[in-house]
């Protein structure tokens, strides 16, 4: 096994990474790739009907059928019995994402995961499903905003191209530049080869910070890299790429905004001891 891996390493072609068996085996070849989309992906993926995800809408009469109610919505409903509230009144805390996706890539040497989401807020909350009492209509969770924007057509990178997409996100992590401001990254040459989309665009311009799409941005919220079979990885290691074999997790959040009408509300949420005992 080790001999075969070393042979692969010797055959590494630095300038032809897409045709290099060493690079394909190390970075691209996936044993299992799993995508979970919570929300209407069609809203955020122009041309989805021509994509590998089109089959997900195969039995739908209308792809945009569930647009208004789509997304991930978590509602916490609490009884309030403290001073200032009528006994039995309710307070609701809402968290709503228009789109929340999880992608896991399992390879011979990796177990990687990326979570994408939109900003969370109180927009598009379906109030009919939540409350019967007008007093219930108190929302305290008003904003949740991650920091790392990705292109709105990020969906095109979640299938066969996910491995290269992950490498570009990983580079952001290593360069301590999650916003993608630093254009002089140390791995510029590596990225030039790997980060190229179907239109031939490459580098950060192809993946991130597309200003035309800033009105409803998609964010990379969570990134996890886990290396497998580390003892064998050393036989495939290239000079200067040792850092790529580090495990890490990154959670990028810019803002969590909670609105409390009054301090008693906050108390009611966190002080539950001795209530209803």
Tokens for 73? 């919505």
Distance between CA 96 and CA 120 in Å, rounded? Answer: 5
Distance between CA 258 and CA 145 in Å, rounded? Answer: 12
Q: Is the dihedral of CA 44, 172, 102, 33 positive or negative?
A: positive
Nearer to other proteins, 71 or 180 (CB): 71
Does residue 62 touch other proteins according to CB under 8 A? yes
Cβ 29 to other proteins shortest distance, Å: 7
Cβ 254 to other proteins shortest distance, Å: 21
Please say whether the beta carbons of 44 and 64 come within 8 A: no
Pairing state between β 248-251 and 218-225: antiparallel
Does residue 269 touch other proteins according to CB under 8 A? yes
Does residue 72 touch other proteins according to CB under 8 A? yes
Write the binding mask 145 to 184 for other proteins: x where contact by CB under 8 A, - elsewhere: --------------xx------------------------
Distance between CA 56 and CA 59 in Å, rounded? Answer: 8
Does residue 42 touch other proteins according to CB under 8 A? yes
Q: Phi, psi at residue 116, to the nearest 5°?
A: -110, 155
Among the listed residues 9, 12, 33, 203, the single contact to other proteins using CB under 8 A = 33
Residue ranges that bind other proteins, judged by CB under 8 A: 21, 24-25, 28-42, 49-64, 66, 69-79, 126, 129-130, 159-160, 269-273, 275-277
């Amino acid at each position: 096994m080790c001999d075969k891996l070393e042979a692969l390493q010797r055959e590494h072609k630095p300038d032809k990474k897409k045709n290099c068996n060493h690079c394909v085996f190390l970075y691209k070849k996936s044993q299992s790739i799993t995508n979970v989309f919570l929300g209407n992906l069609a809203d955020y993926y122009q041309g989805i009907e021509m994509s590998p995800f089109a089959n997900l809408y195969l039995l739908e009469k209308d792809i945009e059928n569930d647009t208004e109610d789509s997304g991930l919505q978590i509602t916490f409903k609490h009884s309030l019995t403290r001073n200032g509230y009528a006994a039995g009144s309710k307070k609701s805390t809402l968290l709503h994402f228009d789109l929340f996706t999880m992608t896991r890539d399992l390879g011979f040497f990796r177990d990687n995961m990326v979570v994408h989401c939109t900003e969370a807020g109180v927009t598009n909350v379906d109030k009919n499903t939540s409350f019967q009492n007008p007093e219930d209509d108190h929302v305290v969770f008003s904003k949740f905003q991650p920091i790392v924007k990705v292109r709105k057509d990020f969906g095109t990178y979640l299938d066969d191209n996910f491995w290269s997409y992950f490498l570009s996100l990983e580079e952001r992590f290593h360069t301590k530049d999650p916003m993608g401001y630093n254009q002089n990254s140390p791995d510029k040459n590596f990225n030039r080869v790997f980060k190229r989309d179907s239109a031939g665009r490459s580098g950060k311009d192809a993946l991130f910070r597309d200003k035309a799409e800033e009105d409803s941005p998609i964010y990379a919220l969570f990134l996890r890299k886990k290396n497998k079979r580390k003892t064998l990885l050393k036989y495939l290691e290239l000079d200067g790429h040792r850092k790529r074999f580090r495990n890490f997790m990154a959670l990028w959040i810019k803002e969590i905004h909670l609105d409390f009408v009054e301090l008693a509300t906050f108390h009611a949420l966190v002080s539950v001891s001795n209530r209803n005992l």
